Amino acid sequence: MISGALILEPRQFEAGAASFYRRRLPRLAIALLFWSLFYFIVIRTLFSQLSPTRLDIAQFVLDGKPYTHLYFLWLIIGLYAIAPILAAFLKDGGPRRAVLFAGIVLGVTTITAISSSVLGGMGADRPLTLLSLTQWVPYVGFFLAGWALREVRLSGGRLLAAMLVTVGAVAISIIQYGIRPAAPLLEALAPLSYYGPVVTVASLGVFLCLSSLWARWVPGLKTQRVLRELSDSAFGVFLVHFAIMVALRRMEPFSSAGGSLLLSALEWLVVVILSFAVIFVMRRVPGLRRVV
């Protein structure tokens, strides 16, 4: 949604789609190649001592998942690839067209997810399979929603209501995750996935509430510099954090973090700090800077 709010801005495409692609896609392509090889060779093969077969390698490539989180690179490349088309359609349509377009696409995506889970619950297995070239498809609605809601600001009772709904949706998702085996009907009607109805409501709520709460905040120059550095590092932090987490879980006491709320919270804090530290260094090394 944040990407949509920024990328679908018409001035991004004033020099044409080719110029937009030249500015955006090379960095993503380099990161995709580097981190796919890094996680496959260093983390999977050397560190985790796994011996992938030819089928495994084919799956990693064609699924767009050489490691758990790297599907996001295929996802964002796909969204950037269709961004000029979406932006051209939205350019002269005003806020109403943007909201309707985002709502329709999000609705279709959510209904598709529910349809798949309902059929699965009835015994007709219909999994939603995403491959490398289609990882972006379920996220177009969120991409559009970021643009459609970028200037919406809630206040007073509306903001309070939105915050309550958002907190409720997050709470429901946590509870549902814990009771999934005992609630097959709930899982069928409201599948807990990135494009299921509960997560969709929570995502829209977080975006609207935070953009409304921070609308009048004007950070000072020092704060701006800090935020810009953190923002510029966020992409790299996302890419490197899994490697740090895997290494950390080989050490005590974090090997037991999966069963302890306290250790999980501590692990999260350590991973965040170390990830930012690593990326701060990498961003200052000319060769490595290109991959983060």
Q: What's the rounded Cα separation, in Å, for the pair 118 and 191? A: 9
- Placement of tokens 């692990």 in the chain: 267
For residue 253, whether the previous peptide bond is cis, meaning omega lies within 30 degrees of 0, is yes
* Mean pLDDT on 175-179: 89
| pLDDT value of residue 180 | 83
Question: Which residues are within 8 A (CB) of 90 and not within 5 positions of it... i.e. 6 or more apart?
Answer: 8, 97, 98, 101, 144, 147
| 3-class secondary-structure state, position 253 | coil
What is the rounded end-to-end Cα distance, in angstroms, of the chain?
21
Residue 48 has pLDDT above 80, yes or no: no
* Mean pLDDT on 25-48: 88
Phi, psi of 68, deg, nearest 5: -45, -50
Contact 105, 141 (CB under 8 A): yes
* Mean pLDDT on 252-260: 79
Question: Which tens digits make up the pLDDT trace of 71-86?
Answer: 999 999 999 999 999 9
* Mean pLDDT on 159-180: 93
Q: What element of type H or E holds 204?
A: helix 197-213
DSSP 48: S
Contact 119, 125 (CB under 8 A): yes
| pLDDT value of residue 7 | 93
Structure tokens at 69: 């989180």
- Say what the alpha-carbon torsion angle 70, 71, 74, 75 is, to the nearest 10 degrees: -120
Q: Is residue 40 very low, low, confident or very high in pLDDT (cuts 50, 70, 90)?
A: confident
Structure tokens at 211: 């953009």
Q: What's the rounded Cα separation, in Å, for the pair 72 and 51? A: 24
Query: pTM to 2 decimals?
Result: 0.89
Question: Which tens digits make up the pLDDT trace of 260-278?
Answer: 788 888 999 999 999 999 9
Q: Is residue 231 very low, low, confident or very high in pLDDT (cuts 50, 70, 90)?
A: very high
| pLDDT value of residue 50 | 73
| pLDDT value of residue 122 | 84
